[in-house]
C-alpha cells in the first residue's frame, strides 16, 4: 500500500512527487518514464516511500526510507536517496501549511450529554443539510454512483471528522465560505461523544463504548 509520501526517482535523481498524490502509478503518469522491464540495469526509475516508523503523521518519530518494489535498479546510489529525502522535506513544508495538529478524539470514549437538546438536534440538522448538498453535487457530476445508504452511513461521519485535520480553501462538491470547514457540525457532535449515522430514512446519534443509539429522528422530521 502506498504511503502518504510516495515519489518516483529516476536514474538522474530527478524526484517526481505531488502533495495529496500517493499512488506511484499516478505519479508515473506525470513523467515520460516507462515501466517496461525487470532488468535492474535497464530500469529508468524506482518507486520510493518515506513514512514515519510509528505510522503517526501528526507526531512522527523517525522517517523511514523504502524502495517500494522487488527489484532495486543497479544504478541506485546514495545520491538518489538523498534527493528523495530533500523532496520529502519540501513535501513536509507544504503539508505543515494545511495540517491541523490537533489531538485525535475517540468519540466513544467520551461521556456524551445526559440529554439530547435542541442544540444537538440543530447540529445534526446542519450536518444533514450539508451531506444532502454533497450528495446532490456528486450525483450531478458522477451520476449518483454512490448509494445514499453507504454515503450517509456512520462512515461519512468518520471521513468528515478526519477532514477537520486539514486546512483547505475549498472542499469539492459543496458551496461554502472559502477557508471554512463545511462539515464542522459533524465535528462538533463528534467531540461531544455523538456520532451521526443515516440509513436513508432515519438519522441516529450513536454514543458510548458500544455505539448504542441515544437519539433518532426521521429525515422528514429533521427538516422541520
- For residues 216 and 131, membership in a common domain is answered with yes
Q: Is the pTM of this model over 0.85?
A: no
The whole-number pLDDT of residue 136 equals 53
d(CA 96, CA 61) in angstroms, rounded, equals: 16
* Cell 427538516 belongs to residue: 223
- Domain stops at, among 77, 98, 119: 98
- For residues 64 and 149, membership in a common domain is answered with no
- Domain stops at, among 98, 132, 166: 98
- For residues 210 and 111, membership in a common domain is answered with yes
Domain annotation covers residue 69: yes
Domain annotation covers residue 74: yes
- Domain stops at, among 98, 130, 158: 98
d(CA 174, CA 131) in angstroms, rounded, equals: 9
- For residues 146 and 88, membership in a common domain is answered with no
Reading phi first (left if > 0) and then psi (alpha if -120 to 50, else beta), residue 143 is in left
Domain annotation covers residue 191: yes
- For residues 211 and 124, membership in a common domain is answered with yes
- For residues 154 and 188, membership in a common domain is answered with yes
- For residues 111 and 217, membership in a common domain is answered with yes
For 33-63, b where at least 16 C-beta lie within 10 A, e where not — what string?
beeeeeeeeebbbbbbbbbbeeeebeeeeee
Q: What are phi and psi of 137, to 5 degrees?
A: -70, -45
Of 85, 95, 93, give the one whose Cα is nearest residue 7.
Answer: 85
Look up residue 221 and give its three cell numbers: 422530521
**Number of domains forming the structure of the chain:** 2
The whole-number pLDDT of residue 224 equals 83
Domain annotation covers residue 44: yes
- For residues 123 and 16, membership in a common domain is answered with no
Of 191, 198, 204, 223, give the one whose Cα is nearest residue 111.
Answer: 191
- For residues 22 and 127, membership in a common domain is answered with no
- For residues 75 and 113, membership in a common domain is answered with no
Domain annotation covers residue 1: no
Expressed as residue numbers, the domain containing 137 is: 107-223
For 81-109, b where at least 16 C-beta lie within 10 A, e where not — what string?
bebbeebbeebbeebeeeeeeeeeeebee
d(CA 47, CA 184) in angstroms, rounded, equals: 37
- For residues 214 and 113, membership in a common domain is answered with yes
The whole-number pLDDT of residue 3 equals 67
pLDDT tens, the chain, 224 aa long: 466 899 999 999 999 999 989 999 999 999 999 999 999 999 999 999 999 999 888 889 999 999 999 999 999 999 999 999 999 999 999 999 999 988 889 999 999 999 999 999 999 999 998 887 776 554 443 333 333 433 445 777 888 888 898 888 888 778 888 888 989 999 999 999 999 988 888 999 999 999 999 999 999 999 98
- For residues 82 and 127, membership in a common domain is answered with no
Of 203, 114, 130, 205, give the one whose Cα is nearest residue 163.
Answer: 130
Amino acid at each position: 500500500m502506498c504511503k502518504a509520501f510516495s515519489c518516483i526517482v529516476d536514474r538522474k535523481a530527478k524526484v517526481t512527487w505531488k502533495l495529496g498524490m500517493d499512488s506511484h502509478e499516478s505519479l508515473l503518469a506525470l513523467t515520460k518514464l516507462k515501466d517496461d522491464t525487470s532488468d535492474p540495469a535497464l530500469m529508468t526509475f524506482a518507486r520510493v516511500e518515506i513514512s514515519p516508523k510509528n505510522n503517526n503523521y501528526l507526531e512522527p518519530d523517525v522517517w523511514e526510507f523504502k524502495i517500494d518494489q522487488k527489484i532495486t535498479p543497479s544504478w541506485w546510489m546514495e545520491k538518489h536517496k538523498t534527493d528523495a529525502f530533500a523532496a520529502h522535506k519540501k513535501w513536509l513544508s507544504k503539508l505543515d501549511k494545511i495540517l491541523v495538529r490537533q489531538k485525535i478524539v475517540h468519540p466513544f470514549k467520551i461521556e456524551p450529554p445526559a440529554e439530547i437538546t435542541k442544540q444537538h438536534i440543530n447540529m445534526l440538522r446542519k450536518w444533514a443539510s450539508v451531506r444532502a448538498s454533497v450528495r446532490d453535487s456528486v450525483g450531478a457530476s458522477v451520476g449518483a454512483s454512490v448509494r445514499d445508504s453507504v454515503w450517509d452511513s456512520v462512515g461519512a461521519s468518520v471521513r468528515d471528522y478526519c477532514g477537520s485535520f486539514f486546512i483547505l480553501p475549498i472542499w469539492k462538491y459543496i458551496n461554502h465560505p472559502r477557508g471554512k470547514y463545511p462539515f464542522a457540525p459533524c465535528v462538533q457532535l463528534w467531540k461531544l461523544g455523538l456520532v451521526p449515522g443515516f440509513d436513508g430514512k432515519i438519522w441516529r446519534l450513536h454514543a458510548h463504548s458500544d455505539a448504542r443509539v441515544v437519539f433518532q429522528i426521521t429525515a422528514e422530521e429533521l427538516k422541520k
